Amino acid sequence: MANVKNKKQQPGRIAITGELTIYTALELKDQLLTGLAEAEELELDLSEVGEIDAAGLQLLVMIKQQAAVSGKALSFTGHSPVVLDLLDLSGLAGFFGDPLLIVRKPL
Amino acid sequence: MIPDEYLQTFVVECKELLEQMEEALLIVEQAEQDPEIINAIFRAAHTIKGSAGMFGLDPVVEFTHAAESVLDRVRSGEVAMTSVLAALFIEAHDHLKELIGHVAEGSHPAEATDNHGKTLIARLEAYLGETPAEQPGNSGSSDNSGEMPVIQTANVEREHSDAVVGTDLWHLSLRFGPEVFRNGMDPFSFVRCLASLGSIEELVTVIDAIPAAAQMDPESCYLGFEISFSSDADKLAIDSLFNFVRSDCFIRILPPRSKASEYQRLIQELPEQEMRLGEILVKCGTLTPEELDNILRLQSQHGDAPQRPIGEVLVEQQMVSSPVVEAALAKQQQVKDNKKSEASLIRVDAEKLDELINLVGELIIAGAGTNLIARRAGMAELMESTATLSRLVEDVRDSALALRMVQIGGTFNRFTRVVRDVSKELGKDIDLVISGGDTELDKTVVEKIGDPLTHLVRNSMDHGIEAAELRLARGKSAKGTLRLNAYHDAGSIVIEVSDDGGGLNKEKILNKAIERGLVAEGANLSDKEIYNLIFEAGFSTADAVSNLSGRGVGMDVVKRNIQALRGSVDLDSIEGQGSTIRIRLPLTLAIIDGFMVGVGNASYVIPLDMVVECVELNAWASDEGDGQYLNLRGEVLPYRRLRDHFVIDGDMVQRENVVVVRYGEHKAGLVVDKLMGEFQTVIKPLGKLFSSEKSIGGFTILGSGEVALIVDVPGLMGQIEHEREAGEVVPFTRSGVVMH
């Protein structure tokens, strides 16, 4: 079960752990929007995302756009391998504009 | 390390591509501005570059890349294909050929070659410099060299919408319905599936449909993809991937090289804004900016019409698919057809074919044996079955031989280049006219005919066709014409090399021949005999020796080469109007249809193609006394008794028969004892011991295991003529011919 890590939660920083998929999208949406509303600058730590699907990706797009609309700074950090993989596949890395550590998979 | 056999295939393919390229370049050099041909050159260069890249042949890749970049500019109309540029490309082609040659031999090109390559690259790149800055999607830029090139429509100003968008990639537009997630599917799994059918060149995730946070339902899918995709799969295979989501998704698949109007329609159908979509398509590499501009311009022309109700648009969306799909299917079919014709060709090792022909030969001999036994046993059923069998064997033989048959056109086309180069060297303007290129002959013969033919062609250009001033003075056009022609005639193939030059000077030849001691002074020779003197060893009438010909070696070598193929060569000439050299070659060197005759106890085989008719001696044709000529229905026919010729003992038969044979323009009669009918003959070569015997072409093994000699009709005729001239008869001594 994925969730926002509430322990050692600090303002302006949310770590998503476990799944970022259709199964968790509904609750994550609210948590992310709340998190964004509460801070001027938000950092989303994706280092512990173990699974991500299109719904999860869509959610990230949504929150990024919402941040832009409300004029807040949002950044994603510490992309886990599955996140990197999907960003690479979708070609959306440029849209998010976060610095990524590109790891080329051996062919 | 790449296995040798792949490298071998690569080399063979490259050589073929280079040949095509050369052919196309020679056409282009003649100022033919056909975009198809330019495309052909580009494709050849691109394929060579691609495969060379796979083998890591960097020098080839580097060089081809330079050529390809220029060609791309030519194709897009930015650089004009002048004859100067075409000549440069021909040089580039030669260099490439050399590089490939080094690859084939596994050797490294010499430094001079490298330097030459660098100069050529520099010269090619000079053409790139003149054009405006690099455009996105242009394959000339190095960053996307891994992608298939995006072909620009040659003329941006083109008005009609049915221009084909020249990409080799599929284009897929996918918009997933909101229920996709809830139905347990992940759009990216389709993308991953797609990757198993080919390679995704570029994928743009369309996120425009994701609503603002408040309205967004995180469990609904708002995503779409625009994908450019390279794959050999057919439309059905790609389409069937989406079977599960078809009902609530928008899926459009455009095959490679779809019409611009189809893209236009696609843009119309998609929910996003035109400009945004256009950008996506450009980003995908599906469209070039120019193509997009064109499509959008057309779009705005139609856009003047009042906004149509949404229902109509929806109906159209359903309807629309039919013409587009039809067009797509037609395209698809075409691609498939192309592939089919590609797939129907296989490369076979020539040795395997030889082995097959050998086996068929053995089969024929074994079949003849069975036939004989059946006849002896007198069993009607067995005879019937062997008759069927031999008919089938005959068919097998024909198709086996047909496998080795190749069209002579390929050989002829090589001369386009020879003629171009030699005419430049000589400063003469000469046209090459090729006809009969689809005439087929045995591959081994084709391989061996190249050199003699080159010699004849060069000779005709050098000595035959006069300099332009002389031509004009003689009232001919300044441009000389050289013709290559081929046709089938009486079981042989005839290849003609003719020119419209000065023809041969009889006096000059005769004087030279007398001077060289080839002919006795005062000898009375026919025109033809005089002309054919030039095929004698050590003969040349050229006043000036050029580096092409005229050194007195050549024509006799040509004649010897052709005779080695059991062929003959002769020459016709009309002074002041030109000359024609005719090469006559047997179609195949392995198996022939023979006509078997008996003389005494021996059997002989005469090639059936040369047999004109058989008549009974004395009844239909009679010797009027001199023992040399027959009167065949009023025609004078030289004849020879095979019994006398081969010195065969045994009783004379009462009724002798005459087999009338024809070779070229000559006819002759061969008198034999018995006519035994048609016989499939596998030619076995005679040993060296008999190489001086001109009238025997080989031997064959009969069904009974006996040996029959094959009469070499041209050789026999030549010998008869020779003996008649010499006035003495040198009989064939049969003492050596004992074979078991």
Report the CATH number at residue B228.
3.30.70
What is the pLDDT at residue B272? Answer: 66
Q: Is B429 exposed, middle or buried (0-12, 13-18, 19+ CB in 10 A)?
A: middle
- For residues B624 and B613, is the Cβ–Cβ distance under 8 A? no
How many CA atoms are closer than 13 Å to the CA of B445, on its beta-carbon side? 27
Q: Is residue B392 part of a domain?
A: yes
N- to C-terminal Cα separation, chain B? 52
Residues 188-207, chain B, touching A (beta carbon < 8 A):
188, 191-192, 202-205, 207
| Whether residue B127 is found in the same domain as residue B212 | no
| Whether residue B435 is found in the same domain as residue B576 | yes
Q: Is residue A104 part of a domain?
A: no
B221 touches A at CB < 8 Å:
yes
Cα distances (angstroms) measured from residue B542 to each of A76, B451, B648, B722: 87, 21, 49, 29
What is the pLDDT at residue B339? Answer: 52
Q: Which residues of A touch B188 (CB under 8 A)?
A: 53-54, 57, 86, 89-90
| Whether residue B571 is found in the same domain as residue B607 | no
Q: Is residue A102 part of a domain?
A: no
- Specify the CATH number for the domain of residue B720: 2.30.30.40
Q: Is residue A56 part of a domain?
A: yes
Complex-level ipTM: 0.82
Q: Is residue A75 part of a domain?
A: yes
Q: Is residue B439 part of a domain?
A: yes
Inter-chain touch A54–B218, beta carbons under 8 Å: no
* Chosen domain end from B586, B612, B644: B586
Q: Is residue A87 part of a domain?
A: yes
What is the pLDDT at residue B597? Answer: 92
Q: Is residue B738 part of a domain?
A: no
Percentage of residues of chain A with pLDDT beyond 90: 0
| Whether residue B391 is found in the same domain as residue B253 | no
Inter-chain touch A26–B218, beta carbons under 8 Å: yes
Q: How far is A8 from chain B (nearest CA, A)?
A: 27
| Whether residue B363 is found in the same domain as residue B434 | no
What is the pLDDT at residue B299? Answer: 54
Q: Tell me how many degrees the CA angle B205-B211-B212 measures, rounded to the nearest 5.
A: 125
What is the pLDDT at residue B334? Answer: 55
Q: Which residues of B touch A61 (CB under 8 A)?
A: 207, 210
| Whether residue B599 is found in the same domain as residue B581 | no
What is the pLDDT at residue B137? Answer: 38
- Specify the CATH number for the domain of residue A7: 3.30.750.24
Q: Is residue A101 part of a domain?
A: no
Burial B351-371 (b: 16+ CB within 10 A, else e): eebeebbeebbebbbebbbbb
Nearest to B218 among A59, A65, A69 (CB): A59
What is the pLDDT at residue B268? Answer: 67
> How many residues are listed for chain B in this entry?
740
Sign of torsion, CA B477 B482 B487 B491? positive
| Whether residue B544 is found in the same domain as residue B621 | no
Q: Is residue B628 part of a domain?
A: yes
Nearest to B219 among A26, A89, A90 (CB): A26
How many Cβ atoms are within 10 Å of B432's Cβ, its own excluded?
21
Nearest to A54 among B188, B202, B203 (CB): B188
Sign of torsion, CA B415 B421 B423 B425? negative
Q: Is residue B151 part of a domain?
A: no
Which residues of chain A are at the B interface, by a Cβ-Cβ cutoff of 8 Å? Answer: 22, 25-26, 28-29, 33, 53-55, 57-59, 61-63, 65-66, 69, 86, 89-92, 95
Number of domain units in chain B: 5
- Of the candidates B188, B226, B212, the one whose C-alpha atom is nearest the C-alpha of residue A61 is B212
- Specify the CATH number for the domain of residue B426: 3.30.565.10
Inter-chain touch B181–A63, beta carbons under 8 Å: no
Q: Which residues of chain B fall below pLDDT 70?
A: 1-5, 31-33, 129-167, 259-261, 264, 268-269, 271-344, 490-491, 537-554, 587-590, 620-627, 724-740
Q: Which domain holds residue A12?
A: 3-96
Q: Which residues of A touch B174 (CB under 8 A)?
A: none
| Whether residue B288 is found in the same domain as residue B330 | yes
| Whether residue B366 is found in the same domain as residue B316 | no
Inter-chain touch B213–A86, beta carbons under 8 Å: no
* Chosen domain end from B551, B586, B621: B586
Q: Is residue A107 part of a domain?
A: no
What is the pLDDT at residue B634? Answer: 81
| Whether residue B277 is found in the same domain as residue B327 | yes
Give the residue on A whose Cα is nearest the Cα of B195.
A89
- For residues B411 and B456, is the Cβ–Cβ distance under 8 A? no
Q: Is residue B64 part of a domain?
A: yes
Q: Which domain holds residue B363?
A: 350-404
Cα distances (angstroms) measured from residue B34 to each of A85, B31, B41, B46, B334: 46, 9, 11, 18, 22
Q: What are the pLDDT digits (tens) for B11-63?
A: 888 888 888 888 888 877 776 667 777 877 887 887 887 777 777 777 788 88
Inter-chain touch B188–A95, beta carbons under 8 Å: no
B661 touches A at CB < 8 Å:
no
Interface test with A, best of B174, B194, B205 (most A CBs within 10 A): B205
Inter-chain touch A66–B223, beta carbons under 8 Å: no
Nearest to B186 among A29, A53, A61 (CB): A53
Number of domain units in chain A: 1
Q: Is residue A23 part of a domain?
A: yes
Q: Is residue B563 part of a domain?
A: yes
| Whether residue B482 is found in the same domain as residue B566 | yes
Q: Is residue B158 part of a domain?
A: no
Inter-chain touch A90–B221, beta carbons under 8 Å: no
| Whether residue B460 is found in the same domain as residue B491 | yes
DSSP sequence for B163-230: PBPEESSEEEEEE--TTTTTTT--HHHHHHHHHHHSEEEEEEEE-TTPPPTTT--TTS---EEEEEEE
